[in-house]
Copies of this chain bind each other. A is one copy, B any other.
Amino acid sequence: MITVEKALESILKNRQDFGTEEIPFIESVGRVLKENIVADRDFPPFNRVSMDGICVNFNQFKKGQRSFVIEDVQPAGSAQKTLQNPKNCLEVMTGAVLPKNASAVIRYEDVTIKNGVATIEVDVIKNGQNIHNQGKDRSLGDILIRKNTLISTAEINVLATVGKFIVKVAKQPKVMIVSTGDELVEVDKIPLDYQIRRSNVYALVSLMNELKITVKTAHITDNKPVLKQKIKQFLLDFDVLLFSGAVSKGKYDFLPEVLEELGVEKQFHRVAQRPGKPFWFGRVSGTKTTVFAFPGNPISTYVNCLVYFYPWYFKSIEVEREQQTAMLIENVFFKPDLTYFLQVELSIKNGQLIATPIHGNGSGDLASLIKTDGFIQLPKGRNEFKKGEVFEVIRYRE
């Protein structure tokens, strides 16, 4: 049995490269950029009027001139005009190119217009005011978004602005999620007394969907030859296999031996943690299939996917994620010498993330997930965890 830290270390060493693909930029939120995004022009691309009003030659204002004949209008989206006579002005709109020979913009609020003449009603204006100068924000050729950025809604604006209609992102892994266990029936069926509905596999599907990974799913009965034959094919067709169940000490827990017989090299089996201890992790050397075989209790499957698969995925696509931490709001005592992933409700008070433990009835108590927002990770080697102490948290709900 290895520690959570060693397990994670082993998993991160086994990162995979899924390659890259090109997709429409508008579908790229949640995906990882695999190219630098470079400014195709200066930002802004021209001296841009940033207020609706008039533009003048600042020297005329400095000389004391306050009233200016309106020569013309410069709307946004029109070719640059010229202030023909420096003693005149042009009306200008936000987003327009600043007309030639103009050097300051005075907003309509500070001007009165009468009979084609604009009079400035403020005493002080600054040379260059209300002009967003060409290249002030970024220059042609500047890197705007770095490769390996996880694309959020904020990047969409920039991708559009530089014309990145199609964007290069990390390809997603091909993932197969397999449930085992003869007690399981489909969600739309009425279970017999001794049966339950298939649910872990759907929790895993939704956890994958959160990462924008689409998956296939399968169910295999607790029959060794069938298990072996199906997994053999899955190992050829998928980058990742996720299992739920059949990794513990039961008579029908064939999975570890089947995987090893099929050439999946075990990296470890069993981690010093609760819940989720009988986790088996392996990889086919030479090919690229990685196998996460999670224990079948619902909380075990769920927490292990978040604790192991998520970091493995982000490492694989080269994204760095900040580890969240939260403060325990009450003392916790936990006797076993295991890392304890304790379910917590998370709230924020004065900018401080607070973790309130919600004690469920063990790893089978799937309904307890509804009342919590994440797991606080209480390290192995201690039994007492004090109110006010800060630990890592794995959050699954905002």
Contact = CB atoms under 8 A, between A and B. Distances in A.
Interface of A: 25-26, 29, 39, 41, 43-46, 48, 50, 52-53, 73, 75-80, 91, 93-97, 107-109, 132, 136-138, 144-145, 149, 152-165, 181-184, 187-200, 202-203, 205-207, 209-210, 222, 248-253, 296-298, 302, 322, 324-327, 347-354, 360-362, 364-370, 372, 390, 396-398
A397 B96 CA distance: 31
B202 A187 contact: no
A202 B162 CA distance: 13
A196 B348 contact: no
Contacts of A365: 43, 136-137
Contacts of A372: 154
A46 to B, nearest CB: 6
B78 A205 contact: no
A196 B46 CA distance: 10
Contact of A154 (B95, B108, B324, B396): B396
Contacts of A26: 202, 205-206
A249 B165 contact: no
B196 A50 contact: no
Nearest to A180: B76
Contacts of A199: 156-158, 160-161
Given A145-B370, A353-B353, 18 more contacts: A26-B205, A45-B193, A50-B297, A50-B362, A77-B195, A95-B181, A97-B193, A153-B203, A153-B210, A154-B370, A156-B202, A157-B202, A158-B367, A158-B370, A322-B347, A325-B351, A327-B350, A350-B390
Contacts of A132: 361-362, 364
A397 B370 CA distance: 24
A397 B152 contact: yes
Nearest to A74: B194
A151 B324 CA distance: 22
A94 B250 contact: yes
25 contacts: A26-B202, A45-B193, A48-B364, A50-B297, A53-B249, A76-B222, A77-B182, A77-B184, A77-B194, A79-B193, A91-B251, A93-B250, A144-B367, A153-B210, A154-B369, A156-B199, A156-B202, A157-B200, A157-B298, A158-B199, A160-B202, A161-B196, A164-B187, A325-B351, A353-B353
Contacts of A364: 44, 48, 50, 132, 137
A137 B302 CA distance: 18
Nearest to A208: B153
A50 B365 CA distance: 11
Can you list the 6 inter-chain pairs with the closest CB atoms, starting with the nearest?
A77-B182, A77-B183, A160-B199, A52-B250, A76-B183, A154-B369
Nearest to A388: B351
Given A157-B202, A365-B137, A183 B95 contact: yes
B302 A154 contact: yes
Contacts of A75: 182, 222, 250-252
Given A161-B199, A181-B76, A367-B137, A187 B25 contact: yes
Contacts of A91: 251
Nearest to A53: B249
Contacts of A29: 206, 209-210
Contact of A43 (B97, B184, B322, B367): B367
A188 B165 contact: yes
B366 A158 contact: yes
A73 B251 contact: yes
A324 B395 CA distance: 15
Contacts of A347: 322
